[in-house]
Amino acid sequence: MHCESSHDELLELFSWARDRALRWAHPGGTRGPVNVDEHCPRGTGEGVYLPSYWAGYAHRSGFYLRDFVHQAAGAHLLGLTEANLTMLRRFAASATAEHGHRPVWAFNFDGSYLSIDYRGPDAFVREVPAVFELVECVAELHRWTGDPVYVHDPVLRDYCANAIALPATARGTSIFEGVASYNELSGEPLAVAGDGLATQYAAHLAMAALARARGEDGDRFEARAAELRRHYEQDWKGARGFTLDGRPVTGWGAENSFFMPLKGLRDDPAYLDYVDAQASGPGRPGNVEAWTYLPDVFFRNGRPEAAWRWMREIFHARTGGHVAGGLNGDYPEVSFTLVSQVVAGLLGVRPDAPANALSTLSGLPAEIGWAAVSGIPIGRGSVAVRHDGGDATTLTNLSGQVAYTWTAAFPDGSATTLEVPPGATVTAVRG
């Protein structure tokens, strides 16, 4: 992919993120060490790597579930489709009855369990939100690729069916027993957390889409999602979780505070102001990977200025020290998510590859006059998208094999200009 823009910092950000992310990839057949970690820097041997990429600490020889589901869209945009499917199926296949239908947290690049995070079938790292985000990831990659494997593969299908039947609760007090939230730093004994409930809600919407792609009824999954939303609105009353003894927990909790608006479970403006203020001030997470969700929070909720500010902050922090050692920019999630946030956030590209369709909605902040990205892969072809502010959008179909249906949306109902390539089907929407 190639980015052009009137804004020099955006060009620098995209070029760095694209090139840095691609350096984390492993072609299938590469040989390398396994079980490398901070306690065992040489590993315990050598393996033949799967098509894969780093998703997690650079000083460990593997890919992590939480990181993978957040990096997968960026990986797709960078052409790492084989790695995405390989890694996804590895996680899904590990969610056996022996593991309580929960996926193993981390794998070596050769597909074996990463020993630092796996001690046995009753003692491996697990966090509730990741179980549900993997379901959402299946649906997301289906939208980008149009590949029927994401709908019909028995490993993926069985995983999704088992995962959404699980509760969003945990009884553990350590990550090896299983915890309710992604916020590993708080030490709160939570039985259920806002990020667990929010990802459960999103997983049911994803299941509705996957069911319909198979020609099945998706309404029951949407109905369950609606029930979860009503439960949150009526019973949580401002809580971000409940302790193991049933007490509500309020205040700021990082991931278990901002995943509700990230997943569409909550969208009130005052709460978004609160999230921005806390994350920018006293509640700022100490680890940069937690920041990488924030642009997505604000893009989803129509706040491009805040989203871009967080993208810039993450980019500027790349040369700073990471809390676990090394540089922030050496945490792979930083580069992969910046790539996807340019395309899905600033350009507002929403793929529907199974239908050979896409929509666009400019998420450019005022300071970026225009921006364009070419080579965006959607299904069997690719496109180029350019926004001139929020008033004009140009779509170019770069493939002679696919005719796309394009829905062009605009943020404020102002005058618009569409440059339509020959043969395209276009619907203009004022939003």
pLDDT at 401: 87
DSSP letter string, 146-183: --THHHH-HHHHHHHHHHTTS-SB---SSTTT-BS-S-
DSSP H or E run through 358: strand 357-361
DSSP H or E run through 209: helix 194-213
Is the C-alpha dihedral spanning 395, 399, 400, 401 positive or negative?
negative
pLDDT at 187: 77
Q: Going by C-beta distance under 8 Å and a sequence separation of 6 or more, which residues neighbour residue 235?
A: none
Distance set, CA 150 to CA 138, 202, 279, 362 (Å): 6, 17, 35, 29
pLDDT at 312: 97
**Which residues of the chain fall short of a pLDDT of 50?**
415
pLDDT at 287: 87
DSSP letter string, 100-145: TT---SEEETTSSBPGGGEEETTEE--BHHHHHHHHHHHHHHHHHH
State the Rg of the chain over Cα.
21
Q: Which long-range contacts (CB under 8 A, 24 or more apart) does 421-430 make?
A: 421/395, 421/396, 421/397, 423/397, 424/395, 424/397, 429/359
Q: What are the residue boundaries of the structural domains of the chain, listed by start?
A: 26-347, 359-430
Q: Are 385 and 360 in contact (CB under 8 A)?
A: yes
Which CATH fold topology does 26-347 show?
Answer: Glycosyltransferase (1.50.10)
pLDDT at 423: 59
Reported pTM: 0.95
pLDDT at 325: 85
